[in-house]
Structure 1
């Protein structure tokens, strides 16, 4: 190749590199199961340049192609879990002239998750290709909140408490946290169990809480409030609460009103030394008289 041809090729490469630039790719995540996912590709095209193709891929496999010079300009390729809403997608010459393209997937399924890549190429003589990608995850939230289960509701001080919390049918498995009287439980008290998956590909998560009941855990009324919170990404937060009761004597002791430090649970009975002293002196006086 002569020096003139080499300089021309270099000039074309430099011009092409500046004629088309990918500015950003927007792929939503997470997306709720059954919802819609709008995939957008933004680019900058220099005046005089023209788009040859816009391609979209999921996990390296092409599922959408827009070629302005062909008829029809739009082609779709079947992929499991990828359903293109052709009406909502704006792959048109007008949209490309606005330096953006959009493909809408609806409805999304658990198989729709993956890495989505947008690739844009210009026509001759530059033949520049740019691309960008984003990851999409699909979330299936439970149809009901987590459930706390246990064998008893009343415990004596020092007795072991063992309760479980279950959050069913989601993807991914819900993250579970325990709270005792609105304070997150010590990790040493929490028992984690592996999630189980059903035939529909949905996960059930379960966790346990084990501790011995202490007097300082009893709130007014002699109860301990347990709460289990389930979360999935930013799409789901639900909780369940249960109150455990301490022994009746502990509940009574913590609910009796006090006046000046005197227990008012049994009116008419003397409880303090200052009240017993006059009675004792009167008793001695009666003995001396007799």
Structure 2
């Protein structure tokens, strides 16, 4: 009986020792595997480069740069939105694959493991593009990056500027309008005087109407005592008596065009004579609010009466002489 108990104890000790050894072996193996995984070469530093804006009809090259650290490449995939349109798998006999996606035309001669070129892009291809890179076995580590591309449609004609005055005085109200044809996205218009950007203020009013698919308008209105004009008028004795007004049309960083107009500055006093300065009432006004010049007209009538009187006197003198 005692020998049986002793045998049971020994068996229990052997089982515990075996379990302990197995646990230690598993822990040691896990440490080795972890070290191998940490020291293994893997995919890193994935970056995507997509043009921010490209003109409609031109080609666009999208690239994906990455570091595999000597690991093998399994595949590179390109997506427009959620649709895959290009794949590169180096282990295949024909590594490049193109998938049908509306509007996308891949230029295979200029596409490879790091870039893909799209031919004749259209406005419908504005949107998000994604590059997905996967390394080969055993880890199949995969990363993905995305970027946005805008396809722009340029206006067909150059911008046009119209001004309501070619010469302005310090107390004049001045207005200019700049227009440019339809574009996508709508163009942005900026105003400059002598190279100095004009900002919106209560005396410098700038408005812009821009709608997709229609002409873009921008108006500049400068009122008397505007800060920017007063500065030019004060400097007139030292500089040329004119300014250069310019409107610049831009679409993102791709399109820039401008049109300019030289505007004269005049310090001449107003030529309108007020009836009050002549000692006349001149208080009547037309319905449109303009001053009534009846006083000036009356002065002309007095001159005519004097002339008639002189002729009458001359005729009477002649008649007396004949008698």
TM-score norm. by structure 1 comes to 0.68
In structure 1, the residue matched to 2:254 is 235
SS at match of 2:124: helix
In structure 1, the residue matched to 2:215 is 204
Tell me, yes or no, if the aligned pair for 1:153 and 1:244 is still in contact at 8 Å.
yes
Distance (whole Å) between structure 2 residues aligned to residue 194 and residue 7 of structure 1: 68
**Which structure has the larger Rg over C-alpha atoms?**
2
In structure 2, the residue matched to 1:160 is 173
Q: Which deviates the most, 59-68 or 215-224?
A: 215-224
**Shift in Å at residue 151 of structure 1?**
4.1
SS at match of 2:261: strand
Distance (whole Å) between structure 2 residues aligned to residue 40 and residue 166 of structure 1: 37
Question: Following superposition of structure 1 onto structure 2, how do residues 27-66 of structure 1 map, counting pairs within 5 Å?
Answer: 27-47=50-70, 49-66=71-88
Q: Tell me whether 1:142 sits opposite 2:144 in the alignment.
A: no
Question: Following superposition of structure 1 onto structure 2, how do residues 115-264 of structure 1 map, counting pairs within 5 Å?
Answer: 115-155=128-168, 158-188=171-201, 189-198=204-213, 204-213=215-224, 216=230, 217=232, 222-245=241-264, 249=268
In structure 2, the residue matched to 1:261 is none
Tell me, yes or no, if the aligned pair for 2:191 and 2:246 is still in contact at 8 Å.
yes
Gaps in structure 1 of 5+ consecutive residues: 92-100, 252-290
Gaps in structure 2 of 5+ consecutive residues: 1-22, 271-323
Tell me, yes or no, if the aligned pair for 1:20 and 1:45 is still in contact at 8 Å.
yes
TM-score norm. by structure 2 comes to 0.62
Residues 68/186 of structure 1: CA separation in 2 closer, same or farther (3 Å cut): closer
Tell me, yes or no, if the aligned pair for 2:88 and 2:112 is still in contact at 8 Å.
no
**Shift in Å at residue 21 of structure 1?**
1.9
1:89-133, Cα deviation, whole Å (9 max, x unpaired): 124xxxxxxxxx111112222222222211111233212112223
1:247-272, Cα deviation, whole Å (9 max, x unpaired): 69469xxxxxxxxxxxxxxxxxxxxx
- How many residues are matched? 235
Tell me, yes or no, if the aligned pair for 1:140 and 1:172 is still in contact at 8 Å.
yes
4+ residue segments displaced more than 6 Å: 4-9
**Shift in Å at residue 15 of structure 1?**
6.0
Distance (whole Å) between structure 1 residues aligned to residue 31 and residue 104 of structure 2: 45
Residues 73/186 of structure 1: CA separation in 2 closer, same or farther (3 Å cut): closer
Tell me, yes or no, if the aligned pair for 2:169 and 2:267 is still in contact at 8 Å.
no
Which structure exhibits the higher relative contact order, with contacts defined as CA atoms closer than 8 Å and separated by 6 or more residues? 1
Q: Which has the higher helix share?
A: 2
Distance (whole Å) between structure 2 residues aligned to residue 14 and residue 81 of structure 1: 44
1:130-156, Cα deviation, whole Å (9 max, x unpaired): 222322222333343321124443556
Tell me, yes or no, if the aligned pair for 2:185 and 2:212 is still in contact at 8 Å.
no
In structure 2, the residue matched to 1:75 is 97
Distance (whole Å) between structure 2 residues aligned to residue 146 and residue 6 of structure 1: 71
Residues 150/107 of structure 1: CA separation in 2 closer, same or farther (3 Å cut): same
